[in-house]
Structure 1
Amino acid sequence: MRTFTTVLVAAATAVALGACTTPTAAPGPDAPAGEAVAPDSVQIIVPADPGGGWDQTGRAVSEVLTSDGIVDSAPVTNIGGAGGTVGLAALANESDPYTLMVTGLVMVGAVETNASERRLEDTTPIARLTEEALVVVVPAESPYETLEDLVDDIVENGQSVTVTGGSAGGADHILAGLLLESAGLDPAEIPAQLNYIPNSGGGEAVTLILGNNVSAGISGIGEFVEHVDAGTMRALAVSSAEPVEALPDAPTITDAGYDVVLTNWRGLLAPGGISDEERAALVSLAEELHASDAWTETRETRGWADAFLVGDDFADFVDANIAEIGQTLRTIGLLAS
């Protein structure tokens, strides 16, 4: 079984993100290296348009940080485009060290497929927060009753079957490619056979699906579950190893006959080159967020699994994920060898 659970893993214009934050106190001359000095506020960059999983994550982080009094303010700014790499470029130009940008598997793939000048290696990894299964959905009026119906039609009719999801090279795109590979399609044929329509935010994908303007959609469960519950979309399968409580009627992709498991992680990055003290303060802030009851409730409501990892362990995870995703994109023909 091909399994990618937790290890699968234009320059931006200057963006005004508010006044720079300042720590509550500067470390004294005798302060040990790496001592956490809590900031009064942080800025949060969501590298996508409103409505998608990154936007939901960024706004949930902001809400919990401020409602629990962890910081006084945590304004959110959306900088969408190119699978998050426009936001990544903005982070690279950010002078305020107390800035957090939402990131995840989608950005890892987009950096490769967009040949981004700015890379995740240029940032400071702070924390992995969650992971989430993906779901393949179709409009309620769709003739596809099963995942096999959809995949067989793509294999047989190629470009006439349209699939929408997040940015090119991201988790949604990768899942579509893995499904076709598992169905027996030669990886070299996948790019020509798969008519994938990328979007910079989950709201765009929802509009296309509800308008019956695409054949199917792929995204995180949290982005589509309310529409499935409302009966305007039908869930064909989820990408986790086990069934998902939020979509009890949807089989797993493996149960549907395809040897693919894929979950999408999300986390937080800070600008590259920040000091040890600044990094420690942001890690401490992430730990407070994770320990709060409000964050636990948010995760459970959204259907996000806990995948908390901080500091060097998270940095090592990101490095491994970059290598894994690059190889996967090449294997399924979405990136040149």
Structure 2
Amino acid sequence: MIFRTFMTAKLGAAMVAAATLTAAPASATECIAPSDPGGGWDFTCRTIGRILTELDLVDGNVQVTNMAGGVGAVAFAMVAAERADDADLIVATSTVGVTQIAQGRYPAPLDTMRYLAMLGADVGVIAVDDDSPIQSLEELNAAMAEDPTSLVTAGSSGAGGWDHIRLLMVADAAGVEELSDIRWVQFDGGTDAVTQMMGGQIDVVSTDLGEIAGFVESGDIRILAALSDDPIPAFPEIPTAKSQGIDVTGYNWRGLYTGGDVSDEEYAAWVEKLETLYNSEEWQTAATNSGLVPIWRGGDEFETFVREQADIMEDISRDIGVIE
């Protein structure tokens, strides 16, 4: 089926390093997280911002600004209109954001921005509240197969977005036929979705582990499956979907972009600094402890990768009827 192999194929060679770039220093002053505090984009900005300062790669502290709305569309529009040449600004993005662009849900096309680097990939997970009667992925799939409308599912993307697509991947692999009948609610972050699930408004959440790791550690929620090839080092007790007979993986890469009018010299300086950050013990530890798989792509290589991802997401979105 269309869902099962596209992401694994693209991430298989992701450890290839970008060429070393020599450039003038860049001075970061702000990182925009296009979500509420606590989500994956917020983690990206706050962790990268902290380590940039710790490694003296920027002057002073990096200001983190939360700008939720439209699954990144609000921040994208603001940067395009007001700060396209601001070399002191970086913005968190991911597979989720590029999927939205591919589906025409952002106010401008992909090449409006310059894509700096990918520093890791978050692992998709399927979660329920710790009090949920659903104890396993098998039980969830059986419930969706029996009555797809019986459960309210949610994540940090709209219908047809990456979180939704990952849930459909699991349901499709389990033989659920009426995928369009599965009820879906969008939130601006996995944290918001889990909070609503804990309050009883949502039954199942499909999101990234990095967004909700704190809830896992506290025991407030139960992860039914990690959508990874292998167990997650930080949470080895979480079973993969593959180990439960569902051959599905769903990674969400984490990266950054800057405005489309930033100069080549300023762009190259950012790529160089981010590669230094990626290779640091500080980033490798922070990424791994949060459940991320460290992966580097930078500069032109990352620009090419983002465009390939957008094409893939556009094709998949057509296949599932999200766009024509």
TM-score if structure 1 supplies the norm length?
A: 0.86
Question: Which of 85, 88, 99 is 1:98 aligned to?
Answer: 88
Give 1:253 shift.
Answer: 1.1
CA RMSD of aligned residues (A): 2.0
Question: Which of 30, 34, 50 is 1:63 aligned to?
Answer: 50
Letter aligned with residue 258 of structure 2: A
Contact 1:6 1:263 in 2 (8 A): no
Counterpart-to-counterpart distance in 2, 1:267 and 1:148 = 33
Give 1:66 shift.
Answer: 1.0
Question: After superposition, what is the alpha-carbon deviation per residue over 1:55-79, rounded to whole angstroms, capped at 9, x for unaligned?
Answer: 0111001101112211113211111
Q: Percent identity?
A: 33
Q: Which residue of 1 aligns with 2:17?
A: none
Letter aligned with residue 179 of structure 2: I
Contact 2:29 2:62 in 1 (8 A): yes
Give 1:273 shift.
Answer: 2.4
Aligned pairs for 1:39-188 (under 5 A) are 39-72=26-59, 73-93=61-81, 94=83, 95-113=85-103, 115-168=105-158, 169-186=160-177
Give 1:135 shift.
Answer: 1.2
Q: Which residue of 2 aligns with 1:239?
A: 227
Q: 1:8 to 1:107 in 2, by over 3 A?
A: farther
Q: Report the secondary structure of 2:32's partner residue.
A: strand
Structure 2 unaligned segments of length 5 or more: list them. 13-20
Give 1:8 shift.
Answer: 7.3
Question: Which of 172, 180, 190 is 2:179 aligned to?
Answer: 190
Aligned pairs for 1:318-337 (under 5 A) are 318-333=306-321, 335-337=322-324
**Is 1:262 aligned with 2:265?**
no
**Is 1:273 aligned with 2:261?**
yes
Contact 1:83 1:170 in 2 (8 A): no
Give 1:111 shift.
Answer: 2.0
Contact 1:52 1:203 in 2 (8 A): yes
Question: Which of 278, 283, 295 is 1:295 aligned to?
Answer: 283
**Is 1:223 aligned with 2:211?**
yes
Moved over 4 A (4+): none
Bigger Cα displacement from structure 2, 126-135 vs 41-50:
41-50
Give 1:215 shift.
Answer: 0.9
Q: Which residue of 2 aligns with 1:284?
A: 272
Contact 1:167 1:200 in 2 (8 A): yes
Contact 1:128 1:307 in 2 (8 A): yes
Q: Which residue of 2 aligns with 1:13?
A: none
Give 1:86 shift.
Answer: 1.2
Q: Which residue of 1 aligns with 2:16?
A: none
Q: Report the secondary structure of 1:250's partner residue.
A: coil
Q: 1:115 to 1:330 in 2, by over 3 A?
A: same
Give 1:320 shift.
Answer: 0.6
TM-score if structure 2 supplies the norm length?
A: 0.89
Counterpart-to-counterpart distance in 1, 2:108 and 2:9 = 24
